[in-house]
Amino acid sequence: MAVSRRRFVTSVLAGSALAATSTTKLLASPARAASPVGDVVGKVTVGYQGWFSAPGDSAPIGGWWHWSRDRFQPPSPSNTTIVSWPDMREYTRSYPTAYPNLGNGSPATLFSSYDQQTVDTHFRWMQEYGCDTAALQRFNPTGDEGPTRDAMTQKVRSAAERYGRKFYIMYDVTDWLTMQTDIKTDWTTKMSAHTASSAYARQNGKPVVCIWGFGFSESSRPFTPGPCLEVINWFKAQGCYVIGGVPTWWRQGIEDSRPGFLDVYHAFHAISPWMVYRARTVEELDSYYNNVNIGDMADCAARGIDYLPCVMPGDLAGGHRKHGDFYWRHIYNMVRLGSQGLYVSMFDEYNEGNQIAKTSETQATTPAGANIRALDEDGVACSSDYYLRITGDGGRMLKGQLALTAVRPTPPMVGTPPPVTGNLAAGRSTSASSQNGSFAASNAVDSDAGSYWESGGGSFPHWWQVDLGASHPVNKLVVRLPAAWGARTQTITVQGSVDGSSFSTIAGASAFAFDPATGNTVTRTLTTTTARHIRLSIAGNTGWAAGQLSQVEVYASSGTTDNPPSAPSGLTSTGRTLSSVSLAWTASTDDNGVTGYQVRQGGTVVSTVTGTTATVSGLSASTSYTFTVTARDAAGNTSAASNAVTVTTDPPANSDLARGRSTSESSHVQSYGSGSVVDGDANSYWESANNAFPQWVQVDLGATRTVGRVVLKLPPSSAWATRTQTLAVTGSADGSSFGTLVSSAARTFNPSTGNQVALTFGAAQTRYVRVTVTGNTGWPAGQLAALEVYAS
């Protein structure tokens, strides 16, 4: 089973290449998009693995696919492929593992991507947090994973249709040595059928396909330029918009890129250079911006290639995230660069720790002692959806709905932090004054009751310390030794600190009597003290000349509960314009009084008001937005969300409603696909199969619109002689039942008048506009270079 970790690192800072490049380059002004806004240009795309499975989920592959190294054994700390733990609260079905219980005592369970509810949950999150498009990863499907991946494509399609998202196929050619033949067969016999879905992503009217891995210097991708270029051109001949997932150093042909591939890279419609594991700090991101990204952008702009760079939240396991500052800086850099879109790596990559999907917030919801970092790993409390909320704000900044800002606008928490429960010390970072041999300080916070810390030689006192990750109102301590040890008493002082340097005494020196008759456990109630660092200073031990601790558990008080407000109700739209939506709702109630409301687009707060009405401005015309409202009280609590309302802003006056929209057709020849009628290129065109009238071409306006005029064009060149096509225009609200907008008649296209025909009709409500051609005096096929649709 081939698994691409995409983790090729020549030097983490790419030092040799960066050092050889000037750091003084500046971008004069944002680059103009090579293509109009579509389903990837001007949008946020997330990489979607969808590759997790578990016994009992009916997946053909069987076992713990991508959860375990040995997929036929349950995942555990010694049999795992993951470094992050998902927030499991919204999955209706979960599967028990061999991990220790969570810090709060609950069983450690995981999800299966093969459950439709899992995929639906992920795509609902995409809808709520402004992720426009999902790039479904597809590895070599000819082996044992093929049937499971085939089924996952259908599950993703269903979820995308259900939640109004787009998706496309992203082929990863890692270890796929027969790729040149197999990838074409897979597309024509399986994957191309999904382009019939209204949810399949299109750019410039063409179905989107990405090929990830051409040109990488790793031995798992040994392809030479010729076969790669042939595959790209083959997909383009199928009428596809082809994205290249390329090496970081593609333009120079160094570091992670093979030399001699520049013609291959330049053959793509869009380029998305890989960045995962290339940078660990904000400073390194800035170095790539100055030394790599600016030059990449200029190269693409000069050749009419869309630049869709990879952005990443950072490796959670490696401590790179800096509570969101790393991710925001990456997004900010790529937006100020003028990138045509963003590709987020990744949505559900719990294996590499680069996921933005909901993740365990604290050690209370992470397996105890498994050394898996939660989102608060650097001491800042973060809600499980934090990186989804950052993605939503980043998308707004990309689309001009939020001012360009280097300062992260997304708070780590929405409302109050989650209640503190469970053992706060489980799996946390530890330190000690010394240790004896292999008896490390971390043994006192792992899940093994038989392992222990023992201090080194020398006279007392010795100390042991744990960092809880954030300050808590600590009020209880449980200390254990291995159950089989003989009785002994240790004299221990309990100290606390908020900064790790200045400690105060929580409980003075006292005897901790460990007795095997009571499980060698001592429990102490403490005076409630706010502390992040807990230190046990040991002044003596009657059983051994050293400090000894098998397990240390720390607990905090929950405090007085203040209930959040009730959720606002009856949210409705009361008006809309080209760039704004007005909303109203019914007030919430609260025991301490409601102080205000937050209007949210997905997880992003777009307006804060004290009353029960709001107007959200700065929106894009002809665009669908979904809003909810939450209430806040005087204690800072946030309510549950109101009902959601979806509103489409008005189109601009006299604009072409069809530009860049999805298209379909009865047939086409060679590379003359239907996408050409909405791509804005006067010289590209759709041509149907020959001698097979009637033929049709159709555009999906994305939502039901008021339409009253269509403009049909052929290429303006005089090489296109005058011809008459007999055609009709029909419309449909659902894509299946069509009514006549313009009756069939002969329409003459004359190069002396621009080779275009304008047809006006009574205003109609329609989403799909179809032109059906039954005759052509210039060629035995239907031909159109443009199908423009207007409100009047």
- Could you read off the pLDDT of 244-299 as tens digits, one per residue? 999 999 999 999 999 999 999 999 999 999 999 999 999 999 999 999 999 999 99
Q: CA–CA separation, 354 vs 216, rounded Å?
A: 21
Euclidean distance between CA atoms 224 and 230, whole angstroms = 11
pLDDT surpasses 80 at 325: yes
Better-predicted residue by pLDDT, 696 or 603 = 696
For range 75-90, the mean pLDDT:
96
How distant is the alpha carbon of residue 381 from its chain centre?
A: 21
Which range among 309-318, 645-654, 768-777 shows the weakest confidence by mean pLDDT?
645-654
Q: Quick one: how far is CA 176 from the chain centroid?
A: 26
Exposed / middle / buried, residue 771 (Cβ in 10 Å: 0-12, 13-18, 19+):
buried
The label of the residue with tokens 């102080």 reads: 595
Percentage of the chain with pLDDT > 70?
Answer: 93
Query: Looking at residue 521, what is its pLDDT?
Result: 95
- Range with the poorest average pLDDT among 10-19, 107-116, 690-699: 10-19
Residue 514 confidence class, pLDDT cut points 50, 70, 90: very high
Q: Write down the pLDDT at residue 22.
A: 37
- Secondary structure letter of residue 419 according to DSSP: P
Task: Compute the distance between CA of residue 147 and CA of residue 152 in angstroms, rounded to an integer.
Answer: 9
pLDDT at residue 704 in the model: 86
Q: Which of 177-191, 331-345, 577-591, 686-700 has the lowest mean pLDDT?
A: 577-591
Q: Which residue is it, tokens 């806040």?
A: 632
Cα(40)–Cα(48) distance, integer angstroms? 15
Q: What is the pLDDT of residues 105-152, one digit of tens each?
A: 889 999 999 999 999 999 999 999 999 999 999 999 999 999 999 999
Instruction: Read off the pLDDT band of 31 (50, 70, 90).
Output: very low
pLDDT score for 18:
58
- How much is the pLDDT for 257? 96
How many other CB atoms sit within 10 Å of the CB of residue 274? 24
Backbone angles phi, psi at 85, to 5 degrees: -115, 130
Q: Where are the alpha helices (DSSP H) in 79-212?
A: 116-128, 146-163, 179-189
What pLDDT, on the 0 to 100 scale, is given for residue 4?
Answer: 44
Average pLDDT over residues 592-598: 85
Give me the mean pLDDT over the 457-473 stretch.
Answer: 86
371 Cβ neighbours under 8 A, 6+ residues apart: 77, 427, 442, 446
% pLDDT > 90, the chain:
72
Q: Are 599 and 583 in contact (CB under 8 A)?
A: yes
Q: Give pLDDT, residue 644.
A: 83
Alpha helices, H only, 139-257: 146-163, 179-189, 225-237
Average of per-residue pLDDT values in the chain: 90
Separation CA 465–CA 495 (nearest Å) = 9
Q: What is the mean pLDDT of residues 219-232?
A: 96
- Burial of residue 196 (CB within 10 Å: 0-12, 13-18, 19+) is exposed
Q: Give the gyration radius of the chain's Cα atoms.
A: 30
| pLDDT tens digits, one per residue of 88-101 | 999 989 999 999 99
At residue 471, the pLDDT reads: 73
C-beta contacts of 606-610 below 8 A and 24+ residues apart:
606/396
Which of 323-332, 421-430, 439-448 reaches the highest mean pLDDT? 323-332
The pLDDT value recorded for residue 168 is 98
Residues 6+ apart with CB under 8 A from 202: 38, 39, 166, 208, 241, 661, 662, 663, 675
The two three-digit tokens of residue 150, written as one number:
């085939």
